[in-house]
Amino acid sequence: MITNGSERGLWSSKLGFILAGAGSAVGLGNIWRFPTTAGQYGGGAFVFVYLASVIFICLAVMIAELTLGRHTERNPVGVYKALAPGTAWKYLGLLGVITGWGIASFYSVIAGWTLGYLFKTATGAFSGLSPAQITGEFTSFTSNHVATIGLHGVFMLITMSILFGGVKGGIERWSKILMPVLLIILILLVVRAVTLEGGGKGLAFYLKPNLENVSLKSIAAAMGQAFFSLSLGMGTMITYGSYLSKKDNLISSASWVVTLDTSIALLAGFAIMPAIFAFGLNPQSGPGLIFIVLPNMFNKILLGNLFGAGFFLLLAVAAVTSLISIVEVPAAYFIDELKFSRKRAVWIAGGGAFLAGIPAALYGNFLGWMNKIFGQYSLIIGSLGVALFVGWKWGTAKVEAEIRDGNPDFQNAKTYAFFIRFFAPVSILALLIFLVLFPGLF
């Protein structure tokens, strides 16, 4: 242990961490990005690779990030400076800080769309429209640049105002109330979606892994989505782990976050996929997909406007609890390493992400690229780096010792060592090498 934990503040309890950690993990990644990406990259085949990545790669990386954070009680750059001083490892931390900006920039734009859609659904703007007209609404909404940039700014300001005051009290409390409500609305939507006429094709697309649909590109997309959804590969879980108490069981905390996040992503797929097919939409239509599918479904539901508004409100809340954890990474870096005040750090982290997000608010294609570069490849590379660092540089004996704090009976050190030293890095590296060698397949 390097500094005294009580000086930096801790989560109020194990539950406090699980809520904040799940708050970070559960977000637009589950409801917007998971079904959209699954639709683009082969449905069931994508889901299969996604689940395999979560179980065999991400859980190990999640434990690694939390362990690094709790052991050093530092931000991602500080971790490598503390454990491998004078080496290039600090650039891995820096990659995380830059990725934080990259993801925050487009994430906030989409979160802004949810605010717009909250208003539109509440005021009945979609009532009685045909699927084609609803698609048209999305196109005209996203080409209204004053609205998209304005809402992006509003969303970033909300995020920054939470970060100004520190994360703890508000977020922990709000997550506790709002996450279960999100879950209930999602379950209602699932029930409606799976009983839609013509939805069966969507379920088949979602659940049947068709091997023809597996390509290097889809594996990369599924792996990237798994890291994105679990907030791995850019140091968020390092930072959140640094507020964990030595009494907490790292393995069970990590497993809780992974299980909650994965269940909510899978549920979202059950709500979206049948609806895409029932309304004759194209599963490959990309980032706008849920904004087109869901209003169609709300039109079919009793009190649809109310449900719709409630849903987009909660989606916005889920996005806030994630966006704070993304912007917190560059902010923590400025506070710890450059000794900025919290206020200045948050202004620069959030303000920078706002400016970087303007092109994404203006051009849908640009948003798609940012999503791919930062939300997919950066996180894959960052997670590879964490696995290599923990497995080969810092060493699994140190990990085991840290895990034993709060979990003295930990039995699975050998299994863990296998996954973090061999399975995770070898499979990620193999994917990256193939992608470079065979760009045609990608």
CA distance 295 to 121: 7
Q: To which residue do tokens 């930096």 refer?
A: 8
Query: How far lies 230's CA from each of 135, 268, 294, 328, in Å?
Result: 30, 15, 24, 16
Taking CB under 6 A as the criterion, which residues in 13-32 touch ligand PHE?
Answer: 24-25, 27-30
Number of residue whose CB is nearest ligand PHE = 29
Q: How far is the CB of 327 from ligand PHE (least distance, A)?
A: 9
Query: How far lies 286's CA from each of 31, 49, 191, 260, 293, in Å?
Result: 13, 19, 24, 25, 12
Taking CB under 6 A as the criterion, which residues in 298-317 touch ligand PHE?
Answer: none
Q: In the set 45, 60, 79, 103, which binds ligand PHE (CB under 6 A)? A: 103
Nearest to 294 by CA among 24, 113, 42, 152: 113
- 228 vs 312 by CB, closer to ligand PHE: 228
Alpha helix ranges (H) inside 230-341: 236-241, 250-278, 289-299, 304-337
Taking CB under 6 A as the criterion, which residues in 117-136 touch ligand PHE?
Answer: none
Letters for 321-340 (x = contact with ligand PHE by CB under 6 A, - = none) are -x--xx--------------
Letters for 190-229 (x = contact with ligand PHE by CB under 6 A, - = none) are --------------------------------------xx
HSE-CB at 101 with a 13 A cutoff on CA atoms is: 20
Q: In the set 236, 239, 262, 305, which binds ligand PHE (CB under 6 A)? A: 236
Which amino acid, one-letter code, is at 70? Answer: R
Of the ranges 197-205, 231-239, 246-254, 385-393, which one interacts with ligand PHE (CB under 6 A)? Answer: 231-239
CA distance 289 to 36: 6
Instruction: Give the other-Cβ count within 10 Å of 285's Cβ.
Output: 16
Instruction: Number of residues interacting with ligand PHE: please give it, by CB under 6 A.
Output: 15
Q: How far is the CB of 155 from ligand PHE (least distance, A)?
A: 13
- 25 vs 335 by CB, closer to ligand PHE: 25
User: What residues make contact with ligand PHE under the rule CB under 6 A?
Assistant: 24-25, 27-30, 103, 228-229, 231, 234, 236, 322, 325-326
